[in-house]
C-alpha cells in the first residue's frame, strides 16, 4: 500500500526564491501545454500526446522567451505535464461515468492558494546524513522530522499552502501492519452534538473547532477586507487569515487521526453509515456539517482498517437506523430531531436515539453487538386483551393500556400512584 507522509520544511531566503522559481516554471509549462491542447481542439486537430508536449518544452528552453525554464530541474517540468495528463484523465473518466464528474482542466494562476512541484527518483534528490532534504537546484532544506519513514520514498512533492508554509510530501510503499486480533466490534453513528456515538454506549463530544475559532477568524477576515487591494498590508492580512484557518484545519485533522486510530486499534470490525454529506451541507446545518468533517474521518477509518487488517463496513444511507428498536427489531416510524429518548411500543425498551442507531448500524453490517453500557432498559409490556377484565369496573386507564376508541392500545408509563397501588 502506498501512503503519503508529510513533514514541515523550513527553507531559508535563497531556497524560498528558488522554490518560487520552480513553482512559476511548473505553472507556465502546465498552462502552455493546456493552451496548446485547447488550440488543437478548437482547430479540429487530434489530441496532443505528452511526447509532443515534452519536445515542445525542450525546444522552448532554447528560445529567449522561455530560456529561464532551464533554471529549474527538468523533472519538475515533466511532472507538470504528467499533472495535466492526470487532470484530463479524471475529466474524461467523469464523462464516461467511471468516477464522479469534475470540470475540465483550468489554467493555473500565481495567486492560487496552493503551489506544488514534484521530484521523482530521476531528479536525484536525497535525504542527507544531517537530516536535510537535498533538492536539485534548490539546496539542502531543513526538515522537521516528526517520525521515521517506513521505507525509501519514491517521490517527494514540495507544497506551499495559503498560509505560506512549506511541506515535503513523500510517497512511501508500506507493508500491511496487522494488529493483534480482538473480539470487539463497533457500530458508529455520527452526529453534531456528539461527533461519534459508539454502539457500546461511548459518546465522543464534538470539538467544534470552527465554532470555537469563529471569533478570531471573523476578526482576521474583517481586517483583510479593510486593506486596499494590491497593497503590502493586504498581503500580510491575507497570510494572517490563512494561518488562522490553517490552525483550525490542523486541529480538526489531528482529532480525526487520534480518534480513528483509537477505534481501529480497539475493534476488529467497524461499521459506519454512508452519509449524504453533500446533501446535508445544503441545509441550515451546513456550517456544523463542514466543521465536523465526517467524510475525512470515514476515509481515515477505511484506509487504517485496510492497513491494520481490520474489517470496515459501510451500510446504506437509507437504512432506518433511528426508527428500528435495536432490542426487538420493530420499526417504530420516524421521529423529530428533538426526540433523543423514546420508548419502543412493542417491547417497551427505553432507547437512547443515538446509541440505538449505532447498534442498528452494526447489526445492519452483520456485526453482532450488544447494547452494553447503552441507555437501554426494559420497559412496561402492554397487557393482553384477556387481562382487561381483571380490573375494577369503571377504570378507564390501566398500567400499560390506554383506553381509546376502536380498541387501540398504546403503552404508557405508570404514574407513581399507580405503581404504589
Residue the block writes with cell 508554509: 165
205 catalytic per annotation: no
Residues 373, 200 contacting (CB under 8 angstroms): yes
d(CA 393, CA 382): 19
Q: What Rg value do the Cα atoms of the chain yield, rounded?
A: 30
319 catalytic per annotation: no
| CA torsion, ordered 240, 242, 248, 252, to nearest 10 deg | -150
250 catalytic per annotation: no
Which residue in the list 32, 189, 200, 291 is annotated as catalytic?
Answer: 189
Degrees to nearest 5, angle at CA 219 with 217 and 225: 100
- Got the DSSP string for 274-319? ---HHHHTTSTTHHHHHHHTHHHHHHHHHHHHHHTT-EEEEE-TT-
Which residue in the list 32, 291, 302, 354 is annotated as catalytic?
Answer: 354
List 311's β-bridge partners, or say none: 269
Nine-digit cell string for 183: 473480539
Degrees to nearest 5, angle at CA 349 with 407 and 316: 100
For residue 200, give Cα distances in angstroms to 261, 371, 375: 17, 6, 10
Rounded to the nearest 10 degrees, the angle between the axes of helix 13-42 and helix 50-60 is 130
Which residue in the list 32, 200, 273, 291 is annotated as catalytic?
Answer: 273
Residue the block writes with cell 495559503: 162
Instruction: Write the burial class of residue 90 (CB in 10 Å: 0-12 exposed, 13-18 middle, 19+ buried).
Output: middle
Residues 143, 6 contacting (CB under 8 angstroms): no
Give the residue numbers marked as catalytic. 189, 273, 354
Amino acid at each position: 500500500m502506498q501512503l503519503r507522509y508529510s513533514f514541515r520544511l523550513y527553507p531559508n531566503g535563497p531556497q524560498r526564491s528558488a522554490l518560487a522559481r520552480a513553482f512559476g516554471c511548473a505553472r507556465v509549462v502546465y498552462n502552455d501545454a493546456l493552451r496548446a491542447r485547447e488550440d488543437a481542439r478548437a482547430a479540429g486537430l487530434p489530441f496532443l500526446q505528452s511526447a509532443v508536449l515534452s519536445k515542445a518544452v525542450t525546444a522552448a528552453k532554447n528560445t529567449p522567451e522561455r530560456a529561464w525554464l532551464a533554471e529549474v530541474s527538468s523533472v519538475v517540468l515533466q511532472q507538470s505535464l504528467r499533472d495535466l495528463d492526470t487532470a484530463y484523465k479524471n475529466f474524461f473518466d467523469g464523462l464516461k461515468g467511471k468516477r464522479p464528474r469534475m470540470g475540465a482542466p483550468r489554467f493555473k494562476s500565481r495567486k492560487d492558494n496552493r503551489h506544488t512541484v514534484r521530484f521523482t527518483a530521476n531528479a536525484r534528490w536525497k535525504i542527507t546524513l544531517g537530516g536535510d532534504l537535498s533538492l536539485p537546484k534548490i539546496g539542502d532544506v531543513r526538515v522537521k522530522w516528526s517520525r521515521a519513514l517506513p521505507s525509501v520514498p519514491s517521490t517527494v512533492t514540495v507544497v506551499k499552502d495559503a498560509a505560506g508554509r512549506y511541506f515535503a510530501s513523500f510517497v512511501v510503499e508500506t507493508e500491511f501492519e496487522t494488529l493483534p486480533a480482538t473480539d470487539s466490534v463497533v457500530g458508529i453513528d455520527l452526529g453534531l452534538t456528539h461527533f461519534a456515538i459508539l454502539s457500546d454506549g461511548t459518546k465522543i463530544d464534538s470539538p467544534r473547532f470552527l465554532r470555537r475559532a469563529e471569533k478570531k477568524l471573523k476578526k482576521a477576515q474583517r481586517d483583510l477586507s479593510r486593506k486596499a487591494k494590491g497593497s503590502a498590508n493586504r498581503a500580510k492580512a491575507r497570510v494572517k487569515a490563512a494561518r488562522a484557518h490553517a490552525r483550525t484545519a490542523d486541529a480538526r485533522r489531528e482529532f480525526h487521526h487520534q480518534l480513528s486510530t483509537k477505534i481501529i486499534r480497539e475493534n476488529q470490525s467497524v461499521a459506519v453509515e454512508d452519509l449524504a454529506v453533500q446533501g446535508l451541507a445544503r441545509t441550515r446545518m451546513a456550517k456544523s456539517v463542514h466543521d465536523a468533517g465526517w467524510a475525512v474521518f470515514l476515509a481515515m477509518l477505511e484506509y487504517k482498517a485496510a492497513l491494520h487488517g481490520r474489517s470496515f463496513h459501510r451500510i446504506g444511507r437509507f437504512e432506518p437506523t433511528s426508527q428500528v428498536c435495536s432490542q426487538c427489531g420493530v420499526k417504530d416510524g420516524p421521529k423529530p430531531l428533538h426526540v433523543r429518548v423514546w420508548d419502543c411500543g412493542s417491547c417497551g425498551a427505553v432507547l437512547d436515539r443515538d446509541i440505538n442507531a449505532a447498534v442498528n448500524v452494526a447489526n445492519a453490517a452483520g456485526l453482532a453487538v450488544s447494547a452494553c453500557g447503552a441507555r437501554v432498559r426494559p420497559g412496561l409490556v402492554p397487557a393482553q386483551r384477556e387481562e382487561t377484565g381483571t380490573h375494577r369496573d369503571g377504570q378507564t386507564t390501566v398500567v400499560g393500556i390506554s383506553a381509546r376508541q376502536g380498541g387501540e392500545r398504546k403503552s404508557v408509563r405508570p404514574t407513581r400512584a399507580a405503581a404504589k397501588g
